[in-house]
Amino acid sequence: MTEQYLGLPIAPADTAFGLMAEYDADQHPNKVSLIAGAYRDESGQPWVLPSVEEAKARLGQDQSHEYLGIAGSPALINLAQSLTFGSDMAKNLDKSIASIQTVSGTGANHMAARFLAQHLCPKRVYIPSPTWVNHQTIWAGVGIHIEEYPYYSAETRGVDLEGMLSVFETTAEERDVVVLQACAHNPTGVDLTHEQWARAAEVMKRKKLYVLFDSAYQGFATGDVNGDAWSIRYFVEQLMSNGEPDHPGLCVAQSFSKNFGLYGERVGALHLVVPRHLAAQGARSELLGLARAEYSNPPRYGASIVETVLGNEELKGQWLRDLNTMSSRIKSMRRELRRRLESKGTPGDWSVLESQIGMFSFTALSQKQVSRLREKFHIYLLPSGRVSICGLNEGNVEYVAGAFREVIGSNSN
């Protein structure tokens, strides 16, 4: 038995967390981290949102350390539903939504995958290429065959809608699962337009495909929480409210890590919207069974912060301003990096920095160029060339632009 354990292969280290550890150990004075999807302020430091600070102050010493129920905080769940679907839609769907609090967005995605693998029994799950790396890992763990669909066109540096829909039209079968990112796509920063979402919804509706929305960045794409939830609400309307009664449904994996800056508190929710001729109690009971076996109860403190903010008009107003502060700074850094790259004559079309949205930008840098940035300039980003715009500020954007210029090289013309 001991030999069996000793003979286990060493699993590859997580690329992002490995690079962050390497960055932390780097002693170079000009080092820059463009790795993590975590907001940083103008000084490059973690930022506690003023709304969160005030919520913590109001909670004060009143917090107990008692267990939450298996489903989590009822107040948080109701507020999370309203934030995702809008208060009117959430009320109209009341008996058709099964929601539980989860261990952030990763937990929501994982619970969705486990539930769907056991109860929907799809032949395959369609995951965008490229996407958040954990989508692959999560679905591989539940034994459903994974197919990738083209999401990003390197030629147009936009959404490959025709390629995407062609895959669904030719290979997807009823009850197959399609993973979509609701907004601020990770890693490309490229989202579908409303017209493109409408075309995608028509295919999902007609072919009766199950849609899993990963909603990790609500408020970061446009700075408007309602605008960033447009795709989810449109799909609910088209597939569930106006669709066939036997459409299999959809779900939303929701995270509060980014839009509340509560990365380490692990606050999230999973919302299952069941076919309208069914009640949601059965689905909810199955989710509770999965949660009980996996972690019993979700974390309490972060949930209390979120429900305190969203449940108070004054604090919610401050939170919306906090979102605007973060999204505005990110847009400003996109603009500055573009301006400096273009002023240096850096080869390439850098207008994409401003057309892409959210925390991330897809630079099209090669792995060799990324390695050179790290080795020579101590600038860290993922091998894919994804840049976390949050890591830029007025103190380092000129240095980063100069390094990019040197690594990319002079224009052949």
Residues 38-82: tens digit of each pLDDT: 999 999 899 999 999 999 999 987 778 899 999 999 999 999 999
Smallest Cα–Cα separation from 247: which of 257, 255, 239?
Answer: 239
* Shared-domain flag, residues 237 and 304: yes
pLDDT of 2 reads 61
* Shared-domain flag, residues 200 and 141: yes
Q: Are 72 and 303 in contact (CB under 8 A)?
A: yes
- For the chain, the domain total comes to 2
Residue 258 annotated among the catalytic residues of the structure: yes
Bridge partner residues of 33 (DSSP): 380
To which residue do tokens 């493109």 refer?
Answer: 196
* Shared-domain flag, residues 83 and 182: yes
**Final residue before a domain boundary, out of 315, 344, 371:** 315
Average pLDDT, the chain: 93
Is residue 305 classed exposed, middle or buried when 0-12, 13-18 and 19+ CB atoms within 10 A define those classes? buried
Q: Residue 135 sits in a domain of what CATH number?
A: 3.40.640.10
Annotated catalytic residue within 191, 258, 322, 350: 258
Range of the domain at 44: 3-49+327-410
Residue 122 lies in a domain: yes
Rounded CA separation 333/297 (Å)? 39
Output phi, psi for 149, to 5 deg: -120, 145
191: left (phi over 0), alpha (psi -120 to 50) or beta: beta
**Final residue before a domain boundary, out of 265, 284, 315:** 315
Q: How far is CA 104 from the centre of its chain?
A: 11
pLDDT of 95 reads 87
Q: What is the DSSP letter of 64?
A: -
End-to-end Cα distance, the chain: 65
* Shared-domain flag, residues 331 and 305: no
Residue 291 lies in a domain: yes
Annotated catalytic residue within 47, 132, 319, 350: 132
CA atoms within 13 A on the CB side of 82: 14
Q: Give the pLDDT confidence of 281-311 residue by residue, as tens digits.
A: 999 999 999 999 999 999 999 999 999 999 9
> Per the structure block, which two tokens stand in for 314?
């004054």
Annotated catalytic residue within 160, 191, 214, 322: 214
* Shared-domain flag, residues 263 and 142: yes
* Shared-domain flag, residues 156 and 192: yes
Residue 214 annotated among the catalytic residues of the structure: yes
Stated pTM of the model: 0.93
- Residues with pLDDT less than 70, the chain: 1-5, 410-413
**Final residue before a domain boundary, out of 315, 342, 375:** 315
Q: Residue 359 sits in a domain of what CATH number?
A: 3.90.1150.10
pLDDT of 242 reads 78
